[in-house]
Structure 1
Amino acid sequence: MGMKHSKKHLSHNGERTMGNDVLTSKIKKIARDDVEIKVYYVDSIGNEITQSTTIKGHYLDKLEIPWKEIPGYVLSSVTNFQQTFIPNSDGIYLVYANQLSAPVIVYHRNLDGNLISDPQYLVGDLNRKFETKPLEEADHFLVHAPKDHNGQFTSQVQEQEYVYNVLPLKNYHINKDLFIETQNNVNVYNQPLSNAPLDKTLPYGTSWKIYKAMKETYNGTIWYNLGGNTWIPSTESITTKVIKQTSPRQDLLNSPLAETANNISYTYSVIDSMDINKSVRILYYKDQFITAWKTPYGDMDNTRFRGGQSVFVNKIVQLDNYSVWAELKDGYYIESKYLNL
C-alpha cells in the first residue's frame, strides 16, 4: 500500500511551517487613518473663548496645531501638546491670557513739524485691527500719510503721522467796532492755538472790544485779541456784535451823568459812580501787564500796569452793562476787578 505524502513547507532552517494561505485568512493588517483630535481655545480658568476645532490625520503622521490670534488675548501655554497623530481622547488645550494692547498714537503736523491738533490715541483689544485717517477738515491739505494706515493693536506703542501743507493761522478781517459778549464765564489764553488757559476767566455777561483776529486755517476757529496777550477762541461761549462808538465829546454830551464820568466814550450809559481817592494794588498776574484804557471799551493806550503795582484811584463808575471801571489819577481807566478795592 503506497504511502501518501502530505505536502509540507520548510522554513529556511528546515523547520516545518503552516501554509501562508492559513495565516492570511486569520490576521488583519492594523491601519489607522482616521485619528481625530479636538483642539480647544480656553482662558486661564478653562472657559472657551472661541469655537473649538477638530483635526484629522493618518496615524503617526505629523500634526500641525491650528494656532489662532484672538483679539484681547495672547497664547500663554499648551496642554496635551503632541506633534503626531496618535489617539488623544482628552484633546489639546491652547490656553490664552487676557492682555491689554498698547495705544496707537496719531500725529497731525504742518510742514514745520508743529501739531495742528491734539494727538489722537486709538485703543483696542490686542490683535484687533485698527485704521487711521487724516483730519477731515484738513484732508485737502494732506501731503504725507503713513505707508500703511491699517494695522493690528500690539503690546508695543505704535505711532503714525500725517503731514499737511497748511499755515496754522491767517489774519482774519473784522469790523473795527466789533465786540464780544460772554454767555458764561469763559477761558482766555495768552496766544492763539494755546491749550493752557490763563488762571482767570472773563465773567458772564461782559462785553470786550476786539482789536484783531486770527483764523485757524484747518478748522475755521477764530481767535479774537482783546488787547495785549489776551486771546479768546470762537469755540468759547461768546457772541460777537458790532457796537458803533462815538467821540468822547459826544459821549459826554449824551451821558446823563456826564459830570461824574469824564472821558467815558463807550455807548453804555453811566448808572452810578463813587469817589475813592486812594492807592490800591493791581491783582493781575505778576508776570503780565494790565492794559490802560483811554475810555472804558474805547481806545487802548500803550501804558501798561504790572501785577502787584500800586495805582491811585480817583473814583469808580458803573455802566449800564454792570461793568465797573476805575478812573486813575493819571486819567486812564482799568476794570475794577483787577484791583484790591
Structure 2
Amino acid sequence: MGKKIKNEQFSHNGERTMENDVLSPKVKKIARDDVEIKVHYVDSIGKEIIQPTTIKGHYLDKLDIPWKEIPGYILSSVTNFQQTFIPNSDGIYLVYASQLSAPVIVYHRNTEGNLISDPQYLIGDLNRKFDTKPLEEANRFLIHGPKKPTGQFTQQVQEQEYTYNLLPVRNYQISKDLFIQTSNNVRVFDQPLSKKPLEKVLPYGTTWKVYRAVQESYNNIIWYNLGGNTWIPSTENITPKEIKKESSRQEMLDSPLAETASNISYTYSVIDSMNINRSVEIMYYKDQYITAWQTPYGDMDNQRYRGGEKVLVKKLVQLDNYSVWAELSDGFYIESKYLNI
C-alpha cells in the first residue's frame, strides 16, 4: 500500500501553513485595537517635568504625538520617535530644554505720548500667561489700552501701551446769571470727578448761584461750582436756570432777634442772625484755602483763609435755604461749616 498523504495546506506561494483552527503557542497574535504607547515629557537629564500620557490606537494606524507647551521649557529632541502604532515597551520621550522668555514691556503715556511713569518689565517662564493692567492711581483717567492685555511669554520682546488723559475736565462756558435749582435733596462734592460726597446735602427746592463750570472730557457730565470747594454734577436732580439781577435789592426779612445782615445776596432772605464776636479756627486742610465771599452766594473775593487759621466771627446769619454764614471782622463771609463754632 502506498503511504498515506497527510492533510496539509499550501499558500499561494507554495509555503506550508497550519490549519485555520490551529495556532502555534509560540506565536503571539496582535490585537489591532490594543496598542498602547506611553509618551514621556522629560528634561535634559531625563527627569519628568509633567505626568506622562498614554495613547492608544489600532495596530499600524497613524500615531499623532501629543506635543505640549510647558512653561519655562522648549522642546529640544525626541527619542524613540514613531509615526504608527506598533508595540513599543520603552515609550516615546520628548526632551525639553530649560528656556528663559523675553520680557513684556508696559508703557504708560499721556495723550502727548510722554511717559507718566517708568516702564514696567514683566518677566515670566516661557509660554506662561501674563496679564497687564493700567496704573491703579490713574485708572479713572485711562482712555486707551491694548486690544489684548493678556498673552503668553515668548522668546520675542512684547510691548503693551496704556494712554491716559491727565486733564480729564475742560472749562465750560456759563452765563454770569446762571443758577441751579434742586428738585430733591442732592449731594455735593469737594472737587470735580470726586466719588465721595460731602456730609451735607443741598435741600430740596433751593436755588444756588453758579460761579464756574467744567465738563468731563469724555462724556457730557458738567460740574457746577457753587463757590469755594463745593461742586455739584449735572447727574444730580438739579435744573440750571438763568436769573437776571433786579435793579433794586430784594427786601430782607427781619430776624426774630431784630437783627438783619447787610450786604446779603438778593437771592435769599435772612431768617435768623446772632452776634457772637468769637475767635474760631478754619476747619480745613492746612495746605488748602477757603474762599471769602463779599455776600453769601454773592460775589467771591480774592481774599482766602488757610486751613487752621484763626479768624474773628462777628455774626452768624441763617438764610431761608437754612445755610448758615459767618460774617468776619474784615466784612467777608464764609460758610459756618468750615469753622469750629
TM superposition score normalised by structure 1: 0.56
Measured against aligned partners, the alpha-carbon deviations of 1:213-236 in whole angstroms (never above 9, x if no partner) come to 2223322332334445x3746276
In structure 2, the CA distance between the partners of 1:64 and 1:196, relative to structure 1 (3 Å rule), is same
Match in the other structure for 2:190: 188
Measured against aligned partners, the alpha-carbon deviations of 1:275-321 in whole angstroms (never above 9, x if no partner) come to 21121111121111111111111111111111111111111111121
In structure 2, the CA distance between the partners of 1:179 and 1:106, relative to structure 1 (3 Å rule), is farther
Shift of 1:203: 1.5
Q: How does 1:1-341 map to 2 (within 5 A)?
A: 24-26=15-17, 36-37=35-36, 54=56, 58=60, 65-67=65-67, 83-85=80-82, 86-87=86-87, 109-113=110-114, 149-150=147-148, 153-154=151-152, 160-161=160-161, 168-180=168-180, 183-189=185-191, 201=198, 203-205=200-202, 209-227=209-227, 230=229, 232=231, 234=233, 237=236, 239-242=238-241, 244=243, 246=245, 250-251=249-250, 253-257=251-255, 259-341=259-341
Query: What is the number of equivalent residue pairs in this alignment?
Result: 266
In structure 2, the CA distance between the partners of 1:235 and 1:114, relative to structure 1 (3 Å rule), is farther
Distance in 1 between residues matched to 2:222 and 2:115, nearest whole Å: 19
Query: C-alpha root-mean-square deviation of aligned residues, in Å?
Result: 5.5
Shift of 1:260: 1.5
Distance in 1 between residues matched to 2:259 and 2:246, nearest whole Å: 16
In structure 1, runs of 5+ residues without a counterpart are 1-20, 95-102, 116-125, 131-140
SS in 2 for 1:337: helix
- Is 2:326–2:334's contact at 8 Å kept on the other side of the alignment? yes
Distance in 2 between residues matched to 1:39 and 1:64, nearest whole Å: 12
In structure 2, runs of 5+ residues without a counterpart are 1-11, 19-23, 40-48, 95-103, 117-127, 133-142
SS in 2 for 1:287: coil
Measured against aligned partners, the alpha-carbon deviations of 1:9-29 in whole angstroms (never above 9, x if no partner) come to xxxxxxxxxxxx999435999
Distance in 2 between residues matched to 1:323 and 1:24, nearest whole Å: 118
In structure 2, the CA distance between the partners of 1:245 and 1:67, relative to structure 1 (3 Å rule), is same
Measured against aligned partners, the alpha-carbon deviations of 1:99-127 in whole angstroms (never above 9, x if no partner) come to xxxx9989684235488xxxxxxxxxx76
More helix by share: 1
- Is 1:245–1:266's contact at 8 Å kept on the other side of the alignment? no
SS in 1 for 2:321: coil
TM superposition score normalised by structure 2: 0.56
Identity %: 45
Distance in 2 between residues matched to 1:110 and 1:322, nearest whole Å: 45
Distance in 2 between residues matched to 1:217 and 1:268, nearest whole Å: 34
